[in-house]
Chain A
Amino acid sequence: MPKAMVQVEGVYKSYWRDSLEIPVLRNISLEIPEGEFLTLMGPSGSGKTTLLNLLAGIDRASQGSVMVAGSDISNLDESALARWRHRNIGFVFQFYNLIPVLNAYENVELPLLLTKLNRAERKRQVELALTVVGLADRMKHYPNQLSGGQEQRVAIARALVTDPNVILADEPTGDLDKQSAEDILALLSQLNRDFKKTIIMVTHDPRAAEKAHVIRHLEKGELVNS
């Protein structure tokens, strides 16, 4: 039995709008084993992205505990959380979020600037990541010179380059045409299968969800089935 990569216990999350409390997640408990490919589905406003943000350590639970990659991230301060994210999390955004003034190589290299790797070591890592996503020949291209699918591949290479334990993807195919979406899903499957990465993906698309081992549904802030 693989050990748990993610353990969420009794998590509540609310936002406040003036004096009005808006509950987003209610009593979420979830365990995801290492090497899992899990999809979170649900209608808009169901709390999928909020849960993903909690797992990524970019948002905090109002109540409950979140353990990811062996760390209880609920109690880490901002600085420690930033270091933890850098070591453990690769995040893929729906709109790629590449830095427009950096080329593909430089975008992928960005997280490595926070490491002690020298230039040659960084180069090796970046080239490897871009080769894995099939963009070794596009290293010097800027985001505006790439298609949407290619941009998302660069974003995946950026998420992959630090060799994180978990890759979190927030609707990674939401802004792509059918073929590009298929390619991205195939790539994520490959990362899960060949590199044993734990992948948690938020999606609206049932066809995308089919690529995962496990599909969990969120409705009105609660996990409803598995």
Chain B
Amino acid sequence: MRVLKLIRKNSGRHLLRTSLTILGMAIAVMAFAVIRTALDAWYAQAEASSPNRLVVTSAISLTFTLPMAYETKIRSIEGVTNVSYAQWFNGTYIDTKNFFPRFAVDHTTYFDMYPEYIIPPDEKADFFRERNACMIGKRLADRFGLKLGDPMHLTGDIFPGDWDFVIRAIFTGAKENTDEGVMFFRFDYLDERMREEAPARAGQVGSFIVQIADPSQAAAISEKIDAMFKNSLAETKTQTEEAFSLSFVALASSIVMGLKVISILVIGIILMVLANTMAMTARERVAEYAVMKTLGFRAFHIIGLIFGESLLIACLGGVLGILFTFPVVGLMKAALSDFFGVFPLRLVTLLLAGTTSLVVGFTAAVFPTIKALRTSIVDGLRIVD
């Protein structure tokens, strides 16, 4: 159709300006998508949490421990179907820059409560059989080129000393947001060493993970747990797994808020880039619109031409930006793998970037169109004269 051809030809009239606008749009759309992906990465752990799981930690601070004996008491509460426990180990693997989460867990219960970790049965049996066995995620194995049977040596800091493990299982994630960059080992291995080297620290765990039958009872059960240990030497703070994960996001709330603000600013920048181009375009073509009106073209034709051109530029910028996003997210994923277990480029992010481009294309055309329509034919023709 000729009108579409006219839109296309109009877009190419100032090739350099249009190209720079499309490139600017593309970079901004890419930045928007990357920032949204980074935000998703912050929240990925919270999103991966189960509504059936509660986390019990010390009411004072995460760094304080709780007696392992709490397990039996928590298990006795109505609505609780399973209880496990874990201890943040920290330590160093070869070099301090090789950060990844390391947990000592009660192997007999922990993995029953985390079905998102898919462990081959034979490897799981090996892990259960050997006291100094450890289990790592596939991403972690890929990152350091580790395989089953390889030794892993950690230098402890919270728990000082040399810690030697053998990799007996490599798990994969059941979901996109399951973190495959984690190392687990058996809590009894840690506790045994503590009984020998620091008896006061033995029988202490960092957190309990409580599985409940009915997520709607989460608040009531949390209250019961905390009430049970009120006025004890180790009071507890129980929250849903999601709230627990979000408390880590809250620690970086300024960064998260900054990213959110930047993502909105980026949309503003895209809008201004395109609006500027469309305003210049419409101003330059006032006389042409007047000529077209003289020939019998009506308001909706002019609206179609301006909106069509704006949307065409926005779509090209959006598509290019989305294409740029894939390699950039790939690079960031590799660079930030120490910090983010999951760096998910989601379809919804791409759809949001595409929709933003369209909205920007639409919005940028509004004022130039109003101006073009408000300019009378006589005034438009006078610009030529």
Binding site for B on A (CB under 8 A): 53, 56, 58-59, 78-79, 82-83, 85-87, 89, 91, 93-95, 97, 99-102, 106, 109-111, 113-114, 158
Contacts and interface: CB of A to CB of B under 8 A. Distances in A.
Given A95-B385, A114-B297, 17 more contacts: A53-B377, A58-B381, A78-B298, A78-B299, A85-B294, A85-B295, A87-B296, A93-B291, A93-B381, A94-B385, A97-B287, A97-B384, A99-B6, A102-B9, A106-B2, A113-B3, A114-B295
Interface in B199-246: none
B94 interface: no
Interface string B283-294: 000011001111
Interface of B: 2-3, 5-6, 9-10, 12-13, 287-288, 291-299, 376-378, 381, 384-385
A58 B294 contact: yes
Contacts of B291: 93, 97, 99
Nearest to A91: B294
B12 A101 contact: yes
B381 A82 contact: no
A43 B13 CA distance: 38
Q: What DSSP secondary structure best describes chain B's contact surface?
A: helix
A200 to B, nearest CB: 15
Contacts of A93: 291, 381, 384
Q: What DSSP secondary structure best describes chain A's contact surface?
A: helix
Nearest to A100: B13
Contacts of A87: 296
A124 B296 CA distance: 21
A145 B24 CA distance: 33
Contacts of A101: 6, 9-10, 12-13
B6 A114 contact: no
A82 B287 contact: no
A87 B296 CA distance: 8
B293 A113 contact: no
Contacts, number: 67
A102 B285 CA distance: 14
Nearest to B384: A95
Nearest to B291: A97
Contacts of B9: 101-102
A82 B293 contact: yes
Contact of A58 (B288, B298, B377): B377
Given A59-B377, A86-B296, A102 B6 contact: yes
A97 B288 contact: yes
27 contacts: A53-B378, A58-B381, A59-B376, A59-B378, A79-B299, A82-B296, A82-B297, A83-B296, A83-B298, A85-B296, A89-B294, A93-B381, A93-B384, A95-B384, A97-B287, A97-B381, A99-B6, A99-B288, A99-B291, A100-B13, A101-B10, A101-B13, A106-B2, A110-B295, A113-B3, A114-B296, A158-B295
Contact of A111 (B287, B296, B298, B376): B296
Which of B10, B299, B378 has its CB near the most chain A CB atoms (within 10 A)? B378
B2 A113 contact: yes
Contacts of A56: 294
Contacts of A85: 294-296
Nearest to A174: B385
A95 B5 CA distance: 24
A95 B364 CA distance: 31
Contacts of A106: 2, 5
Contacts of A53: 377-378
Closest 3 CB pairs of A and B: A86-B296, A101-B9, A58-B377
Nearest to B380: A58
Contacts of B376: 58-59
Contacts of A111: 295-296
A113 B305 CA distance: 14
Nearest to A110: B295
A91 B13 CA distance: 25
B356 to A, nearest CB: 29
Nearest to A159: B295
Contacts of B295: 85-86, 91, 110-111, 114, 158
A86 B292 CA distance: 10
Contacts of B296: 82-83, 85-87, 111, 114
Contacts of A100: 13
Which of B287, B296, B385 has its CB near the most chain A CB atoms (within 10 A)? B296
